[in-house]
């Protein structure tokens, strides 16, 4: 009786037009809400442009050119030959921002994956099993939250820095420090995600379909992975998107402070290392302006997308 009344009210609220149209699929609903968020669409376009810039640029400049030093060309202002100028050892900044962009974007994406794996594992175990496991894991999470992240990151960057040999992939050599940075960023930023996942698990595991799954003897891991986790997709996707931006920012901080990815591998962050010297601040603003702006644009576009995803996927949560 009650539900019939609700349906009637719901029907009355719709116009005749909408009633005739076939019901929207989840994907259509998502797209309809996402499309309305103009900033998010702008973010998608901007991010695509940045990806094209970083991964299409190598067609124009070779990596050897990006890493070639020529001290006679030190700190040249932007010109036709070097549109973004040259750095303190005469490398072309335009070419370096292209190759640096690849690494920075990759670090953002891979660190996010590390973070998601750790965050989901800890959050799911804590939320699903509860009790002692929950309180132990949550104390552990709090411990990580209580260490100021940047301080710990720097200690870890210094500890692991230089311990991993260079990696050769697709005929290119990457500094081993890239792997170090990815891992330590992932390891120091999973806590919020773990809390979100735990909260979702706590509420979903009380649902009747979980009881049904248990009653039919479904093993624990299958309930976790196949029955509860898909219900937590929305907040995970939103949080993961925003953490790509966060990882790119963190990489730039560590590299800016000189403990990040080691040269000759360029990243937007390590191009900014040592730019706070008097000489560069006074005379060579192009050295930090271009890589710095690219970091801002990337982080901005990802934040826009994250915001749009939150509105579209997870309308209950409040944007901060």
Partner 1 sequence: MTRYIIRRLLQAIPLLFFISIVAFVLMMNMGDPVATMGGRRAIRPQDRERLTRQLGLDKPIAVQYLYWLAGNDWDKLDLDGDGVAETPGRRKGVLRGDFGTSLVHRGKPAMAVIWDRIPNTLLLMIPAEIVIIGGALLVGIYSALRQYSALDHVITAITFVGYSMPIFFIALLSMYIFAVLFRRWGLPYLPTVGMFDASVGKTPLQVTWHMVLPVFSIATISMAGYSRYIRSTMLEVLSQDYVRTAKSKGLPRREVVFVHALKNASLPIVTLVGLDLPLLLGGALVTESIFAWPGMGRLFLDHLQRADVSVVMGILLITSVAVIVFQLITDVVYAWLDPRIRYD
Interface positions with partner 1 (CB under 8 A): 39, 139-140, 142-143, 145-152, 154-156, 158-159, 245, 249, 252-253, 256-257, 272, 275-276, 278, 281-282, 285, 288, 292-293, 295-296, 299-300, 303-304, 318-320
Least separation in angstroms between CB 243 and partner 1? 14
Contacting residues for 276 by C-beta, under 8 A, at least 6 apart? none
Complex with partner 1: residue 182 or 299, whichever CB lies closer: 299
In whole angstroms, the minimum distance from the beta carbon of 307 to partner 1 comes to 8
Q: Which is nearer to partner 1, 18 or 279 (CB)?
A: 279
- Joined together, the tokens standing for residue 142 give 């709090």
Q: How many CA atoms lie within 13 A of 254 on its CB side?
A: 32
Q: How far is the CB of 149 from partner 1 (least distance, A)?
A: 6
* 195 vs 205, beta carbon nearer partner 1: 195
- CB nearer partner 1, residue 150 or residue 225: 150
CB burial readout 218-228, b (16+ within 10 A) else e: eeeeebbeebb
Q: Which is nearer to partner 1, 152 or 202 (CB)?
A: 152
Q: What DSSP string runs through 90-114?
A: --BHHHHHHHHHHHHHHHHHHHHHH
DSSP code at position 276: T
CA angle 43/44/50 to nearest 5° reads: 85
Cα separation of 269 and 252, whole Å?
A: 4
CB of 298 to partner 1, least distance (A): 8
Q: Least Å distance between CB 113 and partner 1?
A: 21
How far is the C-alpha of 231 from the C-alpha of 1, rounded, in Å?
Answer: 29
In whole angstroms, the minimum distance from the beta carbon of 263 to partner 1 comes to 17
Q: Are the C-beta atoms of 319 and 40 separated by less than 8 Å? A: no
Between 159 and 221, whose beta carbon lies closer to partner 1?
A: 159
């Amino acid at each position: 009786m009650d539900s019939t009344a609700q349906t009637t009210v719901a029907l009355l609220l719709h116009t005749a037009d909408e009633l005739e149209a076939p019901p929207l699929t989840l994907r259509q609903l998502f797209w309809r809400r996402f499309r309305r968020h103009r900033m998010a669409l702008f973010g998608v376009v901007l991010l695509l442009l940045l990806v094209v810039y970083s991964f299409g640029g190598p067609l124009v400049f070779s990596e050897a050119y990006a890493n070639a030093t020529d001290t006679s060309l030190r700190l040249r202002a932007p010109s036709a030959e070097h549109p973004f100028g040259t750095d303190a050892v005469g490398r072309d900044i335009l070419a370096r921002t292209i190759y640096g962009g690849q690494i920075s974007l990759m670090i953002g994406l891979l660190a996010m994956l590390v973070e998601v794996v750790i965050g989901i594992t800890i959050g799911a175990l804590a939320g699903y099993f509860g009790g002692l496991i929950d309180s132990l894991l949550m104390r552990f999470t709090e411990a990580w939250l209580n260490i100021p992240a940047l301080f710990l990151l720097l200690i870890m960057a210094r500890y692991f820095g230089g311990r991993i040999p260079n990696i050769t992939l697709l005929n290119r050599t990457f500094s081993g420090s890239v792997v170090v940075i990815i891992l330590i960023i992932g390891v120091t930023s999973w806590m919020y995600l773990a809390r979100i996942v735990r909260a979702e698990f706590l509420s979903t595991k009380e649902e009747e379909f979980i009881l049904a799954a248990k009653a039919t003897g479904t093993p624990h891991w299958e309930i976790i992975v196949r029955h509860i986790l898909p219900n937590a997709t929305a907040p995970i996707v939103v949080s993961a998107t925003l953490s790509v931006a966060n990882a790119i920012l963190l990489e730039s901080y560590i590299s800016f402070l000189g403990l990040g990815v080691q040269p000759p591998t360029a990243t937007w962050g390590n191009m900014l290392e040592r730019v706070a010297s008097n000489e560069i601040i006074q005379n060579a603003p192009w050295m930090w302006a271009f890589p710095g702006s690219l970091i801002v644009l990337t982080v901005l576009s990802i934040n826009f997308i994250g915001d749009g995803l939150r509105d579209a996927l997870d309308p209950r949560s409040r944007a901060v």
